[in-house]
Chains A and B, each alone.
Chain A
Amino acid sequence: MSDNVSPLRQPADSAGVVALTRELAGLIVAALNLEVTPGDIGPDQPLYGEGLGLDSIDILEIALVVSKQYGVQLRADSEENTRIFASLRQLAEYVNAHRTK
């Protein structure tokens, strides 16, 4: 879609990812009923295990939110899967690149 990114487009995309990171933090906190505020989730903090402490049930829930909100269907059998949930920023970048709405 945006393979030939113009120099002007680049900063806008990064800003998009930053905004999306905050938006996803809000969606995740709401969907999982977490005890933290969206601002507490650092963009590079791991979501799984030791970081935010999410498990696979949570990840499935986030996948649902992401499919409803952005039309992105996550797949576990892609190499990308572990990377996608490495952090909020990685998730935002993935959603930003694959969103259909």
Chain B
Amino acid sequence: MLAYRGGVPILVREFLADVARVGAALADGGHVLNVCSDRYHFTVGLAASLVAGKVSLLPSTRTPEVIAQLRRFAPDAFCLTDEEECALELPRVRFPASRGAAATAGAEVPRIEAGRRAAWVFTSGSTGTPVPHQKTFAGLLECMRVAAERLALTDGRSHAVVATVPPQHMYGFESSVLLPLVSGNALCAEHPFYPADICHALEAVPRPRILISTPIHLRALMAAGLALPATDLIVSATASLSTELAREVEQRCGTRLLEIYGSTETGSIALREPTRTAEWHLWPHVTLESRGEETFAQGGHIGQRTRLYDVIEPLGVDRFLLHGRTADLVNIAGKRSSLGYLDHQLNSIPGVVDGAFFHGAAAADGTVARLGACVVAPGLEAAAITAALRRRIDPVFLPRPLLLVASLPRTSTGKLPQEALRSLAAAQTKPSGAA
């Protein structure tokens, strides 16, 4: 069994038939933006692309600006979609509907060269242009083989893998698509969102079943007051989980919760059990190196030495502690950007003279902290700036508040301290907030 949809198993031979069918429908271009929202469709599209020697593109967001940059990066790119409507400005291939043709038993499993480039994933960089990172098929597989062992998913039983994260996000791509494929477990086509959806998706599949999720979804799941189905493992990533929430999840779901640490550049590289220890345990062969404030990872599936944008304290050779993000990094709901990139986008809007984003204060109740921005733009209204930003950056980064100011609080050396921006914003918002 390779997958479930609506609790109905999809067998390997049906998958192979679907891969062949979709492969025949793909366009000629060598780069595929696979936006299929159904996780099984996504997986079929990925496999068909691999077999056809095409490279998958995984941008961090799909705003018109990013799609334009993708077209420049890969002029032959086309998009594979399973939706009726697709607003992306790319040549489009509709995921072909199943004709219900009987899958032939004993269909040959296609062979994919291990060293081949399977995907380009993108981070926002700090200068306004997304930075591509290459993922080889072998590197992805190696990383997920380790993950499967560490998560104890290699005991011969078929685990059903339910995930609240999209397959196009690096964590979802690895944990909800590649992990079950590599380890002989079964992925679930659904992408549950609300707490009731998560419970329903879990109940629809037999045990053992595992939930791949994030602190945001787990917090909502705990708060919804629903009866939670028995689950055999819960995995969280994208941001650190508070120990209290981790404990509650374990108690209410009656199982272990494991956290994965990774980045778009490196993929998953460490794991921890937060109710037992704050220490992260690195993948074997992956090592960390600190240089001043910066930390780099290398070895194992990573390939070349790669910077991690978190503040990391290595402990011995295979463990570390995480002390938050570096000052420039932005991570909201697992979507990553940098203040440098966002500032660049803001200042590229015609009419904006000067502008800067700042980190909002973290909320004590676990709700998501948003960014704010101060903008000097005589003659522009805040709503117009927000609308222009919406074309450029992912909506999770849109500033709340976006404040129009006469000038930015730069120091005499031209620096713009985050604290000064926050104070300026607080001083401006107070009167209306009190009204």
Contacting pair A53 B223 (CB below 8 A) = no
**How far apart are the CA atoms of A35 and B400 in the complex, in Å?**
8
Smallest Cβ distance from A56 to chain B, in angstroms? 7
Interface segment out of the listed B45-53, B134-142, B191-199: B191-199
Interface segment out of the listed A9-17, A20-28, A67-75, A88-96: A67-75
With known contacts A35-B432, A64-B224, A67-B224, A76–B197 Cβ distance under 8 A = yes
Residues on A with C-beta less than 8 A from B332 are 57
- A18: CB under 8 A from chain B? no
Contacting pair A55 B193 (CB below 8 A) = no
Contacting pair B194 A50 (CB below 8 A) = no
**How far apart are the CA atoms of A57 and B239 in the complex, in Å?**
14
**How far apart are the CA atoms of A76 and B400 in the complex, in Å?**
26
Residues on A with C-beta less than 8 A from B193 are 56, 60, 76
Contacting pair A76 B386 (CB below 8 A) = no
Contacting pair B387 A67 (CB below 8 A) = no
- A61: CB under 8 A from chain B? yes
Contact with A along B198-235 (1 / 0, CB 8 A): 00100000000000000011001001111000000000
Task: State which residues 42-66 of A face B: CB under 8 Å.
Answer: 49-50, 53, 55-57, 60-61, 63-64
Residues on B with C-beta less than 8 A from A77 are 190, 192, 197, 200
Residues on A with C-beta less than 8 A from B245 are none
Residues on A with C-beta less than 8 A from B390 are 49-50
- B395: CB under 8 A from chain A? yes
Smallest Cβ distance from A54 to chain B, in angstroms? 9
What residue in chain B is nearest A55 (Cβ atoms)? B395
Contacting pair A75 B197 (CB below 8 A) = yes
Contacting pair A35 B401 (CB below 8 A) = yes
- B429: CB under 8 A from chain A? yes
Partner of A57, one of B196, B200, B216, B224: B216
**How far apart are the CA atoms of A59 and B391 in the complex, in Å?**
21
Q: Chain A interface secondary structure, helix, strand, loop or mixed?
A: loop
Residues on A with C-beta less than 8 A from B181 are none
Contacting pair B367 A74 (CB below 8 A) = no
**How far apart are the CA atoms of A101 and B209 in the complex, in Å?**
33
Contact with B along A27-49 (1 / 0, CB 8 A): 00000011101000000000001
Contacting pair B220 A55 (CB below 8 A) = no
| Interface footprint category on B | 20 to 34
- B20: CB under 8 A from chain A? no
What residue in chain A is nearest B191 (Cβ atoms)? A76
Residues on A with C-beta less than 8 A from B432 are 35
Contacting pair A75 B200 (CB below 8 A) = yes
Contact with A along B354-372 (1 / 0, CB 8 A): 0000000000000110000
- B333: CB under 8 A from chain A? yes
Partner of B194, one of A49, A55, A68, A73: A73
Residues on A with C-beta less than 8 A from B194 are 60, 63, 73-76
- B424: CB under 8 A from chain A? no
Contacting pair A76 B387 (CB below 8 A) = no
What residue in chain A is nearest B382 (Cβ atoms)? A35
Contacting pair A35 B197 (CB below 8 A) = no
Residues on A with C-beta less than 8 A from B195 are 63-64, 67, 73
**How far apart are the CA atoms of A22 and B196 in the complex, in Å?**
26
Residues on A with C-beta less than 8 A from B220 are 60-61, 63-64
Partner of B225, one of A57, A67, A74: A67
Residues on A with C-beta less than 8 A from B93 are none
Contacting pair A73 B224 (CB below 8 A) = yes
Contacting pair B196 A75 (CB below 8 A) = yes
**How far apart are the CA atoms of A64 and B196 in the complex, in Å?**
11
Residues on A with C-beta less than 8 A from B190 are 77
What residue in chain A is nearest B386 (Cβ atoms)? A53
Residues on A with C-beta less than 8 A from B386 are 53
Smallest Cβ distance from B11 to chain A, in angstroms? 24
**How far apart are the CA atoms of A34 and B432 in the complex, in Å?**
12
**How far apart are the CA atoms of A61 and B217 in the complex, in Å?**
10
Residues on B with C-beta less than 8 A from A57 are 216, 332-333, 368, 396
Interface residues of A (CB under 8 A from B): 33-35, 37, 49-50, 53, 55-57, 60-61, 63-64, 67-68, 73-77
Q: Beyond the given A73-B224, A74-B196, please list 18 additional residue pairs across the A-B interface where CB-CB is below 8 A.
A: A35-B429, A49-B395, A53-B386, A53-B395, A53-B398, A55-B398, A57-B332, A57-B396, A60-B216, A63-B194, A63-B220, A63-B224, A67-B223, A67-B224, A73-B195, A75-B194, A75-B197, A77-B200
Pairs A–B under 8 Å by Cβ, sample size 10: A35-B429, A53-B386, A55-B398, A60-B194, A61-B220, A73-B226, A74-B194, A74-B196, A76-B192, A77-B192
Interface residues of B (CB under 8 A from A): 190, 192-197, 200, 216-217, 220, 223-226, 332-333, 367-368, 386-387, 390, 395-396, 398, 400-401, 429, 432, 435
The 10 A-B pairs at the shortest CB distance, nearest first, are namely: A73-B196, A76-B193, A55-B395, A74-B194, A35-B401, A76-B197, A67-B224, A57-B368, A60-B220, A63-B194
